[in-house]
Structure 1
């Protein structure tokens, strides 16, 4: 028999010629049909009993019915293939056509034999399959789930967006109404010259890159703010030692315009501000005399009730 390339649990076997020779798959032929498949073990008790019955006339009756063949297997110890389930009846004279065969090891014990099941096979119509183990099924499901989740995370990361104004978000697929509106708007617009169309295409191509750069700069600025947000630099740094601090001016001071006014003597201003008025200091001193050559203004004394008038 040619060596199979696929694993046994991924192999589907059938033999149409053997199926015609034994008259189809039924209760008395299912084990012999299964013995022709690559799933069969030639060192099992099934092969031993079959070979003995072929060459020993006293054991030929074991090959006539499945019940007699299996009863002989139950009397032996070792590896065997036995029918575990027959096709279920779905109606009068109708069945599912599914046979379940177990590969198992029998050990004689009292009061009941010890049986260890190694594998399960099922015959559907003329095809024979090997049932996968529970560990293989769980492993396959876990691999499928992991692969699907990895693809999902990658797709979700590509559709994620962030902006300083709106925060985190996801790109949504355009709806049919939006597509129709864009189509109608493009038909109504006036075509632009080739140069403007080229500039627009370049600008559209730069939009995703610029958006990504802006997002990174905003994230970097926010990180700096969170790290150094509470630290500030004074406009006029404080210098000196404790107890004698001084504010050192920074920057460049502009001189105020003089607007053409004559400059004042600071010494005279300071002396005038510092010395008190002589009139205030000497209250008893008389008022200064009128300079020579000037006539003194005479005032008339006003009578009671009369309005004073000037001379």
Structure 2
């Protein structure tokens, strides 16, 4: 896991936190929604991860005319064999990059609900299991709204994390330009896989061994419940959100070579695990408030366990 992180951080300059959160989500068995303006490396981040793990990966470019069958598959009649055949869609993979997911209609977005939650799809009444591990990374553009559809709450709730990718700093942007210049001169060599599917599944089993103290359970429960008590939120965090924070905290601890969860782990994953599950009250939106601010204020108001 350390080698995987090191290689990804080398490829994706200035995105260390997002890289580690992406890998933590993979380790925790969750899915990730990547949001950021075009050209800052969202697709590259996922492609780099897919190259470094030994599993199968597929990319789907979502468009307004895409149908659910284009994602999960469909049944066709084979004239030669005189029988119906199931044609499986691109969802039958281990790492699925759903590029610009908000460009397709809600009906097609809903085709991913069963796959993301239950790791299976139903085609013409027959249920098919998806390969393990099954990991969805979806991207969306936060500034372009024409021709896009807002992801419904049920869809957003299927993502463990929502990661916001920002512009790099001056120094990081300079390094990106230098790296690009070197790559243009050299012949491209694709990196060899660092982590196999078997290795990943073995690492996931270690999550069960990560110790969570009673005080941490209290800390997470208090955080979740307080989001429901504030008038600044129209919709607070659900019990599923609490499970997401717990699983993500254990994965973050494991990435830090620890077999126990600390309050700092909870603080680190709280923003990406909760920001897309909270709905702001209208007056807070008008004032320019964000869910990140409310999460930070809620954390600050809760005594940190020792």
Greater share of residues in helix: 2
TM-score range, shorter-chain basis? under 0.3
Highest CA radius of gyration, 1 or 2? 1
Q: TM-score, normalization: structure 1?
A: 0.20
Larger RCO (CA within 8 A; separation ≥ 6): 2
Q: TM-score, normalization: structure 2?
A: 0.20
